[in-house]
Amino acid sequence: MSRTSLNISLLTLILYLFFSSINARSQSLIWDLADTISIGTIREVSCINKDICIYRYELMFNNGIILKLTTDGGLNWTHIFADTNIIDNETFLPIYLAPNYYTLSFKSQDKIILTADTNIFWYSNDLGKTWIKDSIDEGYSLSIKMVDSLNGLMYKKLKGGMFVEIFATSNGGISWHEIHKPLEHKWDLNFFGGVLMEGSIYLYSINEDWGYSLNWTLDLGKTWDSYYYGGYYAFNDLQFINPYIGFSINRYMNLDSNKTFFSVMKTYDSGATWTVLLESDSVQYSRLSFSDSLNGIVAGSTTDLIIRTTDGGYSWHKDTVHGIPPRQMRNLRNINMIESKSAFLSTSRHIIKLTDRPTSIENFPLINQNSLDFESIIVNKEIDLEILNDCVGKSQISITIYNSTGKLISNDEFRYSHFDKGIILNLSNFTSGFYLIRVDCASKNKLLQLLII
């Protein structure tokens, strides 16, 4: 073998090992439960970095909206806003009469904007400690999309009508000025978002008037460009990383087979052309989120599928979800990927975090979980839970329980029974929340992450 061939072979081996190590590190990440609600429906989670996130959920029968905030990466969540006509024992600030629909814009630590299907909107400049209520002309509904803390768009629509006005702000919503509509469209526009690059603001939207078109502006709406796709590209989700590279989820009907196909696509030229990365008639891809041009997540709303890429969508790894039943993943709401190894996902009742170890285990340094059988369970405290099913000999049983703060629960605070090799834990004295349980019986042992609701 020549020296050149040897060098090429060695280089190939080095590259293979390098990318294999990247793939192995990528695959070591899992999705773990970060928070849950028992009443209502979660609509979205929004993050500005890996530590600071807000999610909003609506109470039953459209009785109001509540926002919860984390500043420690999902370990703890606090209420920062409630707009509801339901009065309970918890104290929220502020409390107003509840409209039926809301949108949340959270792009920086000093700007949170919440709009409703009325002419009212609220904003906070201090992470939800105080809120300011504002309004526009009656008879309109609003949707506000901020690019950063200063720049954004307000989508203003006549209630019950289709005519749209668009306003822009460059001072964080203190003042707004009307901008030209893209291509003079007067029908419904779906604004997906924008990016900030080299001092230019790239705002993009989808127009569904007689087919689908992508509209964008680099000067905050003074001039617009557009690509028209006809009826082929029906966008389910869309995200641009910069003014050139973007990802989308699309659906279309194949008239020959009479099947609906779902595809994940990528553009390098601002949407002029699209490359198909994934396509299926059995998996309904519904949501995507990318932290940069290489790292992204795609999920399906009718399956428990979550796939992740580290090379811009050319190869994908199926992720594992801990802490919730797989069927709950079918109630997917949105994904927010912040960094290559940090993301949050919302279902109708759960907030899930991408992590290299289960979130709640970080609070339990006294339990060595190496080589233990691990399981995540959500239960109601009214039931008795079997925590081990192959234990012989009651004298060898040892149970260690920690609550969500890492406090050890004493043995006289819980009860268990041993019957036909099974260890049954009585949960009647437990309060709602996270627990970590280690159970040992001779050589048998198990570690459970337990959420009582």
Residue-level pLDDT at 355: 78
Q: Which residue has the higher pLDDT, 331 or 246?
A: 246
pLDDT at 41 over 90: no
Nearest Cα to 66, choosing from 76, 77, 57?
Answer: 57
- Percent pLDDT > 90 in the chain is 13
Residue-level pLDDT at 208: 67
pLDDT at 289 over 90: yes
pLDDT at 368 over 50: no
What single letter denotes the amino acid at residue 111? K
Q: Which residue has the higher pLDDT, 90 or 116?
A: 116
* Dist CA 168 CA 144 (whole Å): 9
pLDDT at 275 over 70: yes
pLDDT at 437 over 80: yes
Question: Where residue 295 falls among pLDDT bands split at 50, 70, 90?
Answer: very high
Residue-level pLDDT at 2: 52
Question: Where residue 75 falls among pLDDT bands split at 50, 70, 90?
Answer: confident
- Across 319-337, average pLDDT: 77
Name the most confidently modeled range: 29-43, 66-80, 399-413, 426-440.
66-80
Q: Which residue has the higher pLDDT, 255 or 319?
A: 319
Q: Examine residue 439 and state whether it is found in any structural domain, yes or no.
A: yes
Strands (E), 37-93: 41-47, 53-58, 64-70, 78-84
Residue-level pLDDT at 329: 72
Total domain count, the chain = 1
Q: Examine residue 435 and state whether it is found in any structural domain, yes or no.
A: yes
pLDDT at 161 over 70: no
What are 202-211's pLDDT values in tens digits?
777 777 666 6
- Across 215-232, average pLDDT: 77
Q: Examine residue 388 and state whether it is found in any structural domain, yes or no.
A: yes
pLDDT at 140 over 80: no
Check: pTM over 0.75? Answer yes or no. no
Question: Where residue 276 falls among pLDDT bands split at 50, 70, 90?
Answer: very high
Q: Which residue has the higher pLDDT, 76 or 221?
A: 76
Q: Examine residue 411 and state whether it is found in any structural domain, yes or no.
A: yes
CATH number at residue 399: 2.60.40.10
Q: Examine residue 268 and state whether it is found in any structural domain, yes or no.
A: no
pLDDT at 290 over 80: yes
Q: Examine residue 271 and state whether it is found in any structural domain, yes or no.
A: no
pLDDT at 260 over 70: yes
Residue-level pLDDT at 297: 95
316: tokens are 């994908």
Q: Examine residue 206 and state whether it is found in any structural domain, yes or no.
A: no
218: tokens are 């680099």
Q: Examine residue 370 and state whether it is found in any structural domain, yes or no.
A: yes
Give the lowest-confidence range in 147-151, 261-265, 389-393, 426-430: 389-393
| CB crowding 3-36: b at 16 or more within 10 Å, else e | eeeeeeeeeeeeeeeeeeeeeeebeebbbbbbbb
Question: Where residue 197 falls among pLDDT bands split at 50, 70, 90?
Answer: confident
Concatenated DSSP letters of 141-157 = EEEEEESSSS-EEEEEE
Q: Which residue has the higher pLDDT, 328 or 277?
A: 277
- Across 226-250, average pLDDT: 84
Residues 277, 264: contact at Cβ < 8 Å? yes
* Mean pLDDT (the chain, rounded): 75
Residues 321, 328: contact at Cβ < 8 Å? no
* Dist CA 72 CA 83 (whole Å): 25
Residue-range definition of the domain harbouring residue 419? 362-452
